[in-house]
Amino acid sequence: MIARVLRWCARLWVVPVVLVLWELATRAMAHPFFPPPSVIVGHMRELWFTGSPARLWLNDTALGNFPQSLGRLLAGWVLAGVGGVTIGVALGRSPLLHRFLDPIIQFGRALPAPALLPMFLALFSTGTRMQIATITFGIVWPVLFNAADGARGVEPLHLDTARVFGLTRGQRLLRIILPSAAPKIFAGLRLSLSLALILMVIAEFFSTEGIGFQLRAAQRAFDLPGVWGAIVLLGVLGYLLNQGFLFLEKRALTWHDAKM
Amino acid sequence: MSDIRRLSVLCVAALLLTACGGGGNPASQSTGPEKTEIRIGMLPLPEVAPIQLAIDKGYFAAEGLKVRTELISGGAAAMPDLVSGKLDVLHSNYVSALLASASGTVKIKVVGDAYAAQPGNFLLMTKKGSPITRVADLKGRTIGVNTLNNISTLSVSALLKPAGLRPDDVKFVERPFPEMAGALDSGQVDVALLPEPFHQAAARTLGAVTLSDLFTGPLADFPIAGYLVTETFAQQSPKSVAAFQRALRKATELARSNTAEVTAALQKYTKIDQETAATMKLGGFSTAVDPARVQRVADLMLEFGYLKQRFEVSSILAGGASG
């Protein structure tokens, strides 16, 4: 117990040490492109956290940008998850389908989503649809390949047993294939979540609101603490998303392990 | 900081070495430019035609300068390249230059003027058949500009004011000028800010309609852009700067007096065809920075919140720029 508390503290004290070092280093450098963290935090509060406590101190600017960004990120991620798992499992279970679709999928995977932005812009115009399309296209691949890999690697014995017991195709999919592929699917989903954050920022550079837009506007206004504020915000958001995902994954896979 | 310091040390060392190497002729050493190879970042717009003219006519060469140009997408986007020394001279709009300077991001000097707006140089355009027919209709609309928080957004803000609108009433998105007509056509933007020659092309190929001239009324004769160097560069290479200024001024005078020379120069660094070039309204080329005019930009920036306090532009004007 004491050891665990100590470990917890050890993990926490690194944070202030890093912050102090960062503060000292940037103050020593006095370079306008690298403002000290104290300046960045002060500026972040000014920019986004001057609201009332009832709204978690978020002001109108924050509420006009954060939920939109997060919503698009999650929408793109969910779409990529559903699409990736569906296509991936189908590919993993059907060698014929794999043979036909693999060249197309390899081609699609090789295209960098940021390079396709002008095309998405032409197709969907500026706005949420274009951003979700960019995110989804860019992050579907890790889910798809992992799901295919997971579905391909299901124990043949399990499937044979299921067949003997007269399980329908649907039942086999839900009870055998998906649970067995779940660890791989979750690995793909976790990878795509961090990619989603990157693509969200890139897509929002071409938008009129969102965290990415604020980052670009701050760059153009030479508001460097503002640029760093957006970067810190993105880092925190990425950390929180990952922690949230790990929490969900643990629950989902524990349930799966217990049932197996 | 250490990187920049190291870089400047390297630059000085390189200069010393070249100076030592050319030791045979002490006279040319004391009069020639400190840095003979100059890289200029510029937008693919007609206003930088004098740079191309000075290269073609050998004005830079006559001053002992070897000039290379690089096309950029906006003054603010290319500012880091100026700071890092990748570019020696940057063609930038005054708003981005003043913002960079006032925020303390980079200490710059304006070494020359590029262009002052003439009627028809910069237009706000809509798609054919657009419901937007007056400036007042812009409420809630998306306007395409090449760079956020630059002279485009500032001048649009100034244009909105008499129509009773605030800058917050419209949305600005970034698109490079060459992509702007496409963005307008596909509905990515409701209104596009288009300089020459892009507005002629948009009108001819897409039937784009002019909503308003951008620099009219209180913005008539507005200074658009100038040429910047870092303060360090200005201090370390004053003769290079002076040589650049002389060649630029000579080329600008040629550009002002001879339109045919300008249209020929345009073919070299833009994709402007002869037909479009013939319909362009050229003539805003400016040989000297007018401090009072640039101060107007800074004052307008203060009015629209781009600057927190009044900025004295004289502090960033290099000797010889306003001459």
pLDDT digits (tens, 9 = 90+) for B303-312: 999 999 999 9
Report the range out of A72-76, B45-49, B221-225, B316-320 with the highest average pLDDT: A72-76
**A206/B99 touch (CB, cutoff 8 Å), yes or no:** no
Task: Give CA separation, A74 vs A16, A69, A224, in Å.
Answer: 31, 9, 28
Q: Is A86 on the interface with B (CB under 8 A)?
A: no
CB atoms within 10 A of CB B102: 22
Q: Is B189's CB within 8 Å of A126's CB? A: yes
pLDDT-above-70 percentage for chain A: 98
Partners of residue A197 on adjacent β-strands: none
Residue keyed to tokens 């296509």: A87
Chain-chain contact of A206 with B306 (C-beta, under 8 angstroms):
no
pLDDT at B19 over 50: no
Any CB–CB contact under 8 A between B84 and chain A?
no
Percent pLDDT > 70 in chain B is 90
The answer to whether residue A206 neighbours chain B at the CB level (below 8 Å) is yes
- Domains of chain A, by residue range, sit at 1-31, 33-258
- Split at pLDDT 50, 70, 90, the class of A227 is very high
Is pLDDT above 90 for B218? no
User: pLDDT at residue B10 above 80?
Assistant: no
Q: Which residue of chain A is at minimal alpha-carbon distance from B80?
A: A33
The candidate with the shortest Cα–Cα distance to B175, out of A117, A200, A222, A215, is A117
What mean pLDDT comes out for the span B65-69? 95
Q: Which own/partner pairs from A129-132 qualify as long-range (CB within 8 Å, at least 24 positions apart)?
A: A130/A203, A130/A206, A131/A72, A131/A76, A131/A200, A131/A203, A131/A204, A131/A207, A131/A210, A132/A72, A132/A75, A132/A76, A132/A79
Q: B76 CA to chain A: closest CA distance, Å?
A: 6
**Min Cα separation B104/chain A (Å):** 7
Q: Which residue has the tokens 């090449």?
A: B146
Report d(CA B233, CA B287) in Å as an integer.
21
Number of cross-chain residue pairs from A and B with Cβ atoms under 8 Å apart: 64
Would residue A117 be called left, alpha or beta, if left means φ above 0 and alpha means ψ between -120 and 50 degrees?
alpha
Q: What is the ipTM of this complex?
A: 0.78
- Three-state SS sequence of B45-86: CHHHHHHHHHHHCCHHHHCCCEEEEEECCCHHHHHHHHHHCC
More confident residue, B6 or A123: A123
pLDDT tier, B21 (very low <50, low <70, confident <90, very high otherwise): very low
- Set of chain B residues whose Cβ sits within 8 Å of the Cβ of A209: 171
Mean pLDDT, chain B, integer:
87
Which of B96, B106, B173 faces A126 most closely, judged by CB atoms? Answer: B173
Mean pLDDT along residues A41-59: 91
Mean model confidence pLDDT for chain A: 90
- Torsion sign across C-alpha atoms A52, A58, A64, A67: negative
CB contacts, 8 Å: B5 with chain A: none
Pairwise CA distance, residues B133 & B126, whole Å: 8
**What is the DSSP track for A135-157?**
HHHHHHHHHHHHHHHHHHTS-HH
Please compute the mean of the pLDDT values over residues A77-82 and round it to a whole number. Answer: 97
Kindly report, residue by residue over A102-147, the tens digit of the pLDDT: 999 999 999 998 889 888 988 888 788 999 999 999 999 999 999 9
Alpha-carbon distance B30 to A65, whole Å?
Answer: 58
**Which chain A residues contact residue B104 at CB under 8 A?**
32
Beta-bridged to residue B37, according to DSSP, are B66
Q: What is the pTM of this model?
A: 0.81
Beta strand B108-116 pairing with B223-230: antiparallel
Q: What is the pLDDT of residues B159-206, one digit of tens each?
A: 999 999 999 999 999 998 888 999 999 888 999 999 988 999 899 999
Amino acid at A49: F
> Across residues B113-141, what is the average pLDDT?
93
Rounded Cα distance between A138 and A130, Å, is: 12
Question: How would residue B3 be classed by pLDDT, with cut points 50, 70 and 90?
Answer: low
B277-299 pLDDT per residue, tens? 777 877 789 888 999 999 999 99
Of the candidates B109, B68, B112, B43, the residue with the CA atom closest to the CA atom of residue B250: B112
Q: Quick check: bond before B197 cis, omega within 30? A: yes
The pLDDT confidence band at residue B242, using thresholds 50, 70 and 90, is: very high
Q: What is the pLDDT of residue A89?
A: 94
Cβ separation B171–A208 shorter than 8 A: yes
Q: Which residues of B touch A33 (CB under 8 A)?
A: 83, 105
Q: What pLDDT is recorded for position B126?
A: 96
- Residue of B207, B204, B208 whose CA lies nearest to B192: B208
Q: Does B7 touch chain A (CB under 8 A)?
A: no
- Would the CB atoms of A222 and B76 count as touching at under 8 Å? yes
User: Half-sphere exposure of residue B244, counting CA atoms within 13 Å on the CB side?
Assistant: 31
Shortest alpha-carbon distance between residue B182 and chain A (Å): 8
Minimal Cβ distance to B186: which of A125, A216, A222: A125
CB of A118 within 8 Å of any CB in chain B? yes
Instruction: Give me the residue from A32, A207, A222 closest to B173, CB to CB.
Output: A207
Q: What is the 3-state secondary structure (H, E, C) of chain B?
A: CHHHHHHHHHHHHHHHHHHHHCCCCHHHHHHCCCCCEEEEEECCCHHHHHHHHHHHCCHHHHCCCEEEEEECCCHHHHHHHHHHCCCCEEEEEHHHHHHHHHCCCCCEEEEEEEEECCCCCEEEEECCCCCCCCHHHHCCCEEEECCCCCHHHHHHHHHHHHHCCCHHHCEEEECCHHHHHHHHHCCCCCEEEEECCHHHHHHHHHCCEEEEECCCHHHCCCEEEEEEEEHHHHHHCHHHHHHHHHHHHHHHHHHHHCHHHHHHHHHHHCCCCHHHHHHCCCCCECCCCCHHHHHHHHHHHHHCCCCCCCCCHHHHECCCCCC
Instruction: Please indicate if any CB of chain A lies within 8 Å of the CB of B127.
Output: no
Residue B170 and residue B157: Cα distance in Å, rounded? 9
Q: Which residues in chain A have Cβ-Cβ distances shorter than 8 Å to B100?
A: 222
Q: How many beta carbons lie within 10 A of that of residue B264, not counting itself?
A: 16
Looking at residue A13, its pLDDT comes to 83
Query: For residue B196, what are the CA distances in angstroms to A102, B73, B150, B223?
Result: 48, 15, 17, 16
CATH class of this structure's domain A33-258 = mainly alpha
